[in-house]
Amino acid sequence: MAVEEGLRLDPPVLYVIRTVKRATILRDIEIHEGERVIAATSSANRDEAVYERPHEFRIDRVSPATHLSFGFGSHFCIGSAVARMEAQSALDVFLELVKPGTLKIKPGSRPYYQDTASLLGYARIDVELAPSSRAEMTAPSTDA
């Protein structure tokens, strides 16, 4: 649930690009054959007609997997299962190392994003770790 809600709210891929095959009118805007359009999947992920309080991170959503973060249709992401598995593993390890409630965003700070237009990724997030959690933190074993 947490992985899906994270993908919905902060999708690494912000939009997909398509070439129009047939002229059409969408919300009073004429779109001609051959034109390239951007479908903002990240915006659709926050559609208030679909999601209650769309800008909030809520792992208790009923249908978290309805997001478009892996695209849609014939070009749906072929690596989605691997990506989901990797994200879940990373989250599991993180939660083993950092006890819930002991990590918080540093007051007064803001996250920094990577300087890209189509991809979303954090370049830096300043956080504070409670001392009790820090003492118990150990690096994962690298023994085979």
CB of 87 to ligand HEM, least distance (A): 7
H or E segment and range at residue 30: strand 29-31
Q: Which of 78, 117, 135, 144 binds ligand HEM (CB under 6 A)?
A: 78
Pairing of strands 16-19, 36-39: antiparallel
Q: What are the tokens at 136?
A: 């118990």
Q: Per rule CB under 6 A, is residue 79 in the interface with ligand HEM?
A: yes
Q: Which residue is nearest to ligand HEM (CB)?
A: 79
Spell out, one character per residue from 99 to 138, where the chain touches ligand HEM: x when CB under 6 A holds, - when not: ----------------------------------------
Spell out, one character per residue from 32 to 71, where the chain touches ligand HEM: x when CB under 6 A holds, - when not: -------------------------------------xxx
Cα–Cα–Cα angle for 89, 41, 69, nearest 5°? 15
Using CB under 6 A as the binding criterion, the count of chain residues that bind ligand HEM stands at: 13
Tell me the C-alpha distance between 22 and 142, whole Å. 55
Nearest to 128 by CA among 100, 98, 105: 105
The packing angle between helices 2-9 and 80-97, to 10°, is 110
Residues that bind ligand HEM (CB under 6 A): 11-13, 16, 69-71, 75, 77-79, 82-83
